[in-house]
Structure 1
Amino acid sequence: MTEVAQTRPFATATDSGTGALQTFVTAGPSTIVADVSAAQGGLDLGPDPHELVAAGLAACTTMTLRLYANRKNWEVSGLHVEVFSHYDADKTPPERFERVISLEGNLNEEQRERLFEIAEKCPIHKLLTAGARVVTTVADQD
């Protein structure tokens, strides 16, 4: 199977030009400011890159659970996913995400357990646990 180049990037990041670390990140139709804390040299004007990864995991988990619950016609009135990032220097890999899932609705224990199993099938969860290849090229200068 050959790889097909995308005509539009999934995400772009452009330095704000202000001299600090603020970066304009565009993904899909939205643009946000990414930054780091003042202690790290930024102005804390937006999520840092680790927070963006955690947000992707939280969003994907929520969407995966909603799709499954809807397909099964289960009464899920609310889904809430929190993701915490931890760095354990003595572990391999040292980065650890902790995901806390809250489910609301008329669900029995079997349905709740199934939804927790389905959370493991979230594409971003699978990406983070399996790893991905990153290929870097340098664009031609104008």
Structure 2
Amino acid sequence: MTDAVHTRPFATADDSGHGGLQTFVTAGPSTIVADVSVAQGGLDLGPDPHELVCAGLAACTSMTVRLYANRKGWNIAAMHVEVFHHADPDQTPHDRFERVITIEGDLNDEQIERLFEIAEKCPIHKLLTAGARVVTTVGGN
């Protein structure tokens, strides 16, 4: 197998133990509660899994654009990235992510256009559009 072996997982999810759907998600040094809405059987105490994917795309987009602008010495005063998830059952693939990027700063039209092109190169954007393999191992006692 040629896949890299990691000594520490990128993320973990542990059932809260309260009998609901609340899950403690640890990614890097942070732990948050993930949940689903009350209508879906949760308590709406945190983002649902689709919202977490949207958050990853929004964060990666912002970081990618910021890194590029910094490297070029371009002035971004503020940036805001919104990501929406839609399920289109009559389309393939069914899932669609819509991203809205707002950039403020001393930038000309060509620089703004280039930053939108760079957003397309965000690693999470590329992962979502290219697809990925998920390999699952089930453990237990």
TM category (shorter chain) comes to over 0.9
Gaps of 5+ in 1: none
Amino acid aligned to 1:132? A
Amino acid aligned to 2:3? E
Deviation at 1:82, TM superposition (A): 0.2
Structure 2 distance, partners of 1:41, 1:21, is: 7
Identical positions, percent: 78
Hey, what does 1:42 align to over in structure 2?
42
Secondary structure in 1 matching 2:89: coil
- Give yes or no for the alignment of 1:129 onto 2:129: yes
Hey, what does 2:12 align to over in structure 1?
12
Amino acid aligned to 2:48? D
Hey, what does 2:71 align to over in structure 1?
71
Q: Give the paired residue count.
A: 141
Q: How does 1:22-101 map to 2 (within 5 A)?
A: 22-101=22-101
CA deviation vs aligned residue, 1:15-52 (integer Å, no higher than 9, x gap): 00101100000000000000000000000000000000
Amino acid aligned to 1:54? C
Flag as ranges the 4+ runs of structure 1 deviating above 4 A: none
Hey, what does 1:113 align to over in structure 2?
113
Amino acid aligned to 1:83? V
Amino acid aligned to 1:121? K
Gaps of 5+ in 2: none
Deviation at 1:135, TM superposition (A): 0.2
Deviation at 1:4, TM superposition (A): 2.2
Structure 2 distance, partners of 1:72, 1:9, is: 34
Hey, what does 2:103 align to over in structure 1?
103
| Cα-Cα RMSD | 0.9
Structure 2 distance, partners of 1:32, 1:140, is: 25
Secondary structure in 2 matching 1:80: strand
Amino acid aligned to 2:40? Q
